[in-house]
Amino acid sequence: MSETVVQQPSFFQVKKGLFSWIFTLDHKRIGILYLYSIGFFFLVAAGLGILMRLELLNPGRDFIEAQTYNQVFTLHGVIMIFLFIIPSVPAVFGNFFLPIMLGTDDVAFPRLNLFSWWLYILGALFALSTLVFGDGPADTGWTFYAPYSVKTGTNVTTSVLAAFILGFSSILTGLNFIVTIHRLRTPGMGFNQMPLFAWALYATSWIQLLATPVIGITLLMIVAERVFGIGLFDPSIGGDPILYQHLFWIYSHPAVYIMALPAMGIVSEIIPTFAQRTIFGYKAIAYSSMAIAFVGYFVWGHHMFTSGMSGPAAIVFSIMTFFVAIPTAVKVFNWVATLYKGSIDIQVPLLFALAFIFNFLIGGLTGLVLGALAADVHVHDTYFVVGHFHYVMFGGAGFAFFGALHYWFPKMWGRMYNKKVANTAFALLFIGFNTTYFPMLILGLKGMPRRYYDYLPEFHDLNMLSTFGSWILVTGIIVMVINLFAGGIKGKKASANPWNGITLEWQTASPPPLHNFDKMPELPAGGPYNYPNAKNASH
Amino acid sequence: MNGKEKITENTSTHEHISSYAEHFGTWVALILLTLMTVFISTFGADLRTLTVATALLIATVKALAVALYFMHLKYDAKIYRAWMIIVMALFVFFLFMVTLDYITR
Amino acid sequence: MADSHTFVLPNSGHNFDAKASKMGMWLFLFTELLLFGGLFLVYIIYRYLNQDAFLLASFELNVWMGTINTIVLLTSSMTIAMAITALQKGNAKLAITLSWLTILAALSFLVIKYFEWSSKFEHGLFPGMDHFDGLPLGERLYFYLYFFMTGLHALHVIVGGVFIAVVIRLIKKEKVTKERYSLLENSGLYWHLVDLIWIYLFPLFYLIH
């Protein structure tokens, strides 16, 4: 850029060529590698989602056979969960921004970081190879429930191995971040001076580290059962399928916090920046991340209320589920309180953050309905569940991902997207999203079961509405993606700090130089969000 | 690692060097415990239901010896001990919740 | 890459940081512990559900082979711990010898394990074999777990041995030295983990009479 005289070349410029990317040790380039790979799989899985909505436009068979439909929703789930939403924020924005926000030049283990990305690609290849070989992709649902998963002829083994490899990649990313946070913070930055995004990643990393191995071993047991007949879960040769569900959810429930916590971290960055005001209750937000991570380990049984689990166990799990809502609500109150009397500048990233709060509230509260024992028996395995987790995962984590993309876009590419188009894309996404998924909540309450390619005629109207919504939603995605690409190629040059943020990433050039900083970064006095000109600073 | 600038270079992880004698002593204790647990179970001092509990108790003592002395946890930064306890507690909690389901069914 | 005038942060991620590498190793060990933790959980539940069958099935194992293997592993844990002490004191030669002894122990462990497993195969005690498929479900569960857990453990023995062999090479090349011993220390930590898991596998499978 022109305002500074001596300018280091940006990390884009230092080296060129394919190999300088796929073998890079630079955390920023690895973040961008992840962005492209994750973005690609998001679009693939979103396409599969559209396909399902299309099939559900009318009752009866429209154009997909029942078996194909089972495979489509399994593939949609596996890709969205393991290839998109779990790695999404940590692998893309965590990699790119965690070191910069901590004031260092890379993660603790740069080689391991690159290795994680390669594992991700290997896992992705495994997942995609199920399309080509044998009897096609798994038809078990992304949960791979035994005993069906050990009996079906479809490519469960390969899908499961894909999930195993992707889990390993996720563990290594988490490990890297924990060590980075412990060892590489800039001098003077204690844990309580870290940006909240770093706190969120810290909590997330611990879940990645301590929960993922449990599913790793469970998936290996499925493979051993399919390949060697080690019948640990099939009741006809020994095992207990409910134990599989326990092991599966010991990981997969904390995994939803792997998806949600970094998203909350992003919202905690965006809101103070666009309110130009100190975050309300810094410690409450930081520690509630840890609390969610901790309590989140103890609630997995609420996925199994109808499985035949014992009554007393179900009651304990139900109570714990209500506990986990407390730290989540603490965050929401703090965000709203931060906006109060702030100098609010309504820009696209803030809109996404507000949409996150709105959608996540609906997702979270419907989650409590599902966590309540009696209510769950009524809505278990209905579209209510589908609606609920799409509100949390897509409306929550997905919107935060888009928000982060718009928030940090000028920092990553040094250019600005067209804000008007971005606003339009946001409106389409928000309207499309709610039109698609809100009807599902009603359909579920009315009793429409999930995972069928067909439904009773009385559900027709709401299903049509939902499918129309999915068209608006996909239009929003297309407009957003095109706008971002256009912005990256020929957008206006962005300054180093277009949003007037004060966390460390705004102190360096856009895009940052290879080593992130040309001089020692300066910590803002009085905490990471202490805006000097804020009208009603402090709390 | 290019290690050009070594301002915060940290080569040694801790000051303490365990002596050979200490390792040997730990080994002797471990072997004795192993023989003891085999003896109890095979030539059976008839402990009935306590056999498994005794075996696991001895195993835990052995595991602690390995962790504290061979793995240097005793001399290392406190945080490793704290983490180890948290990880073990987490496992015990998983176990507790799953068993709760099975024993109350 | 960059010229010598480039500003480099004092807390650079590209510095060699022994504390970071040890922390990373410990975190990795935690994932390993929970990986096996999942299996121990399965073991405990199935044992709770099939107490008598587990007892009966455990008589098929040879306690003496198990005991010898335990002693072999414990000894190897001592040698690798001593190797670290030796390197810290600057005696690279002794460190290499002790590391080789550890690998030797790893190999003996695997050989004994091989004989144990092959005697099970001879008796038709593997899923899919005639004798095995005639067993009651509870006893089958015991052997499923036996093969899966000791198999996975043996895999870790192999990985640990290879890790130590790599470190021996690096000591010879003086990449791992008195001042920079963290890689040897990490391979030791990993090896102790293999030992830790065996400490529990041994009583759970061999000594539950």
Kindly state the average pLDDT of the residues A6-33.
Answer: 89
pLDDT (tens digit per residue) in C24-57: 999 999 999 999 999 999 999 999 999 889 989 9
CA end-to-end distance (rounded Å), chain A: 38
- Name the residue among A14, B13, A111 with its Cα closest to residue C14: A111
Instruction: Report whether pLDDT(A270) > 60.
Output: yes
Helix then strand count (H, E) for chain B reads 3, 0
- Name the residue among A481, A385, A396 with its Cα closest to residue A430: A396
Kindly state the average pLDDT of the residues A4-9.
Answer: 62
pLDDT at A13: 87
Query: Is residue C16 one of the residues assigned to a domain?
Result: no
Q: How far is B47 from chain C (nearest CA, A)?
A: 10
Q: How many CA atoms lie within 13 A of C126 on its CB side?
A: 13
pLDDT at A539: 42
C197 in contact with B, Cβ within 8 Å: no
pLDDT (tens digit per residue) in A110-149: 999 999 999 999 999 999 999 988 888 999 999 999 899 9
Domain containing A73 equals 29-507
Contact C180, B11 (CB under 8 A): yes
Using a CB-CB cut-off of 8 Å, the residues of chain A touching B100 are 310, 312-313, 316
The mean of the pLDDT values for chain A is 93
**Whole-angstrom distance, CA of residue A430 vs CA of residue A434:** 6
Candidates A297, A298, A313; nearest CB to B101: A313
Query: Is residue A536 one of the residues assigned to a domain?
Result: no
pLDDT at B43: 74
CA end-to-end distance (rounded Å), chain B: 55
Using a CB-CB cut-off of 8 Å, the residues of chain A touching C141 are 231-232, 238-239
Candidates B90, B98, B101; nearest CB to A297: B90
Do B59 and C16 make contact, defined as CB atoms within 8 angstroms?
A: no
At B67, the amino acid letter reads A
Using a CB-CB cut-off of 8 Å, the residues of chain B touching A316 are 97, 100
Instruction: Report whether pLDDT(A188) > 80.
Output: yes
Is residue A147 reached through a cis peptide bond, with omega within 30 degrees of 0 on the bond before it?
Answer: yes
pLDDT at B44: 65
**Whole-angstrom distance, CA of residue A289 vs CA of residue A298:** 15
pLDDT at A537: 44
Contact A241, A235 (CB under 8 A): yes
Candidates C12, C63, C74; nearest CB to B42: C63
Is residue A410 reached through a cis peptide bond, with omega within 30 degrees of 0 on the bond before it?
Answer: no
C-chain residue closest to A183, CA distance: C20
Kindly state the average pLDDT of the residues A164-189.
Answer: 96
CA A304, chain centre distance (Å): 23
Using a CB-CB cut-off of 8 Å, the residues of chain A touching B94 are 214, 250, 297
Q: What percent of chain B has pLDDT over 90?
A: 61
Choose the weakest-confidence range: A1-5, A241-245, A508-512, C191-195.
Answer: A1-5
Do B27 and C196 make contact, defined as CB atoms within 8 angstroms?
A: no
Q: How far is C55 from chain A (nearest CA, A)?
A: 16
Using a CB-CB cut-off of 8 Å, the residues of chain A touching C12 are 104-106, 184, 515
pLDDT (tens digit per residue) in A465-500: 999 999 999 999 999 999 999 999 999 999 999 999
Query: Is residue A517 one of the residues assigned to a domain?
Result: no
- Name the residue among A123, A111, A209 with its Cα closest to residue A166: A123
Helix, coil or strand: residue B10: strand
Using a CB-CB cut-off of 8 Å, the residues of chain A touching C8 are 105, 515
Candidates C71, C85, C185; nearest CB to B20: C85
At B59, the amino acid letter reads A
Do C45 and A240 make contact, defined as CB atoms within 8 angstroms?
A: yes
- C17, C144, C146: which to substitute to probe chain A, counting the most A Cβ within 10 Å? C144
C89 in contact with B, Cβ within 8 Å: yes
User: How distant, in Å, are the alpha carbons of A222, A238, A242 from that of A233?
Assistant: 8, 7, 8
pLDDT at A261: 96
- Name the residue among C98, C65, C67 with its Cα closest to residue C184: C98
- C26, C35, C58, C194: which to substitute to probe chain B, counting the most B Cβ within 10 Å? C26
CATH code assigned at A251? 1.20.210.10
Query: Is residue C73 one of the residues assigned to a domain?
Result: yes
Tokens of A144: 């791979």
Tokens of C208: 């539950």
- Name the residue among A309, A294, A323, A297 with its Cα closest to residue A377: A309
Instruction: Report whether pLDDT(A363) > 70.
Output: yes
Size of interface A-C (CB pairs under 8 A): 142
A-chain residue closest to B98, CA distance: A246
Selected residues 156-185 of chain C with any CB under 8 Å from a CB in chain B:
179-182, 185
Q: What percent of chain A has pLDDT over 70?
A: 97
Query: Is residue C15 one of the residues assigned to a domain?
Result: no
pLDDT at B51: 75
Q: What percent of chain C has pLDDT over 70?
A: 97
Q: Classify residue A373 as exposed, middle or buried by CB count within 10 Å of its CB (0-12, 13-18, 19+).
A: middle
- C7, C46, C48: which to substitute to probe chain A, counting the most A Cβ within 10 Å? C7
Q: Given a contact as 3+ CB pairs under 8 Å, which chains touch B?
A: A, C
Sorted by where each begins, the domain ranges of chain B are 18-74, 76-105
Do A108 and C35 make contact, defined as CB atoms within 8 angstroms?
A: no
**Whole-angstrom distance, CA of residue A348 vs CA of residue A335:** 17
Kindly state the average pLDDT of the residues C190-195.
Answer: 96
Measured from the Cβ of residue A452, the count of other Cβ atoms closer than 10 Å reads 12
Contact C71, B31 (CB under 8 A): yes
- pTM of the full predicted structure? 0.94
Candidates B94, B102, B105; nearest CB to A250: B94
Do B63 and C200 make contact, defined as CB atoms within 8 angstroms?
A: yes
Triad A526, A529, A531: Cα angle to 5°: 80
A-chain residue closest to B10, CA distance: A183
Query: Is residue A88 one of the residues assigned to a domain?
Result: yes
Sign of CA dihedral A348, A353, A359, A363: positive
Q: What is the DSSP string of A476-525?
A: HHHHHHHHHHHHHHHPEEP-S-TT---SGGGGS-SSPBTTS-SS---PPT
Q: How far is A312 from chain B (nearest CA, A)?
A: 7
Measured from the Cβ of residue A153, the count of other Cβ atoms closer than 10 Å reads 9
Query: Is residue A18 one of the residues assigned to a domain?
Result: no
pLDDT (tens digit per residue) in A315-362: 999 999 999 999 999 999 999 999 998 999 999 999 999 999 999 999
A316 in contact with B, Cβ within 8 Å: yes
Domain count, chain C: 1
pLDDT at A281: 93
Triad A158, A164, A170: Cα angle to 5°: 140
CATH code assigned at C145? 1.20.120.80
Widest distance between CA atoms in chain C: 75
Q: What percent of chain B has pLDDT over 70?
A: 79
pLDDT (tens digit per residue) in A62-86: 899 999 999 999 999 999 999 999 9
Tokens of C40: 């121990």
Instruction: Report whether pLDDT(C150) > 70.
Output: yes
At A57, the amino acid letter reads L
Do C81 and B5 make contact, defined as CB atoms within 8 angstroms?
A: no
DSSP class of residue A416 equals E
Query: Is residue C20 one of the residues assigned to a domain?
Result: no
Instruction: Report whether pLDDT(A2) > 80.
Output: no
Instruction: Report whether pLDDT(A427) > 50.
Output: yes
Q: How far is C19 from chain A (nearest CA, A)?
A: 8
- B10, B91, B95, B97: which to substitute to probe chain A, counting the most A Cβ within 10 Å? B97
Query: Is residue C9 one of the residues assigned to a domain?
Result: no
Query: Is residue A323 one of the residues assigned to a domain?
Result: yes
Q: Given a contact as 3+ CB pairs under 8 Å, which chains touch C?
A: A, B
**Whole-angstrom distance, CA of residue A210 vs CA of residue A178:** 12
pLDDT (tens digit per residue) in B7-51: 344 544 456 889 999 999 999 999 999 999 998 887 765 655 677
pLDDT at B4: 35
Do C9 and A183 make contact, defined as CB atoms within 8 angstroms?
A: no
The residue among B46 and A511 whose pLDDT is bigger is A511
Widest distance between CA atoms in chain A: 75
pLDDT at C11: 86
Domain containing C188 equals 28-206
**Whole-angstrom distance, CA of residue A328 vs CA of residue A278:** 20
Do B80 and C45 make contact, defined as CB atoms within 8 angstroms?
A: no
C-chain residue closest to B24, CA distance: C78
Measured from the Cβ of residue A66, the count of other Cβ atoms closer than 10 Å reads 12
At B29, the amino acid letter reads A
Query: Is residue A191 one of the residues assigned to a domain?
Result: yes
**Whole-angstrom distance, CA of residue A5 vs CA of residue A8:** 10
Which residue stretches of A340-398 are H helix?
A: 348-371, 373-379, 383-390
pLDDT at A6: 55
Contact A284, A335 (CB under 8 A): no
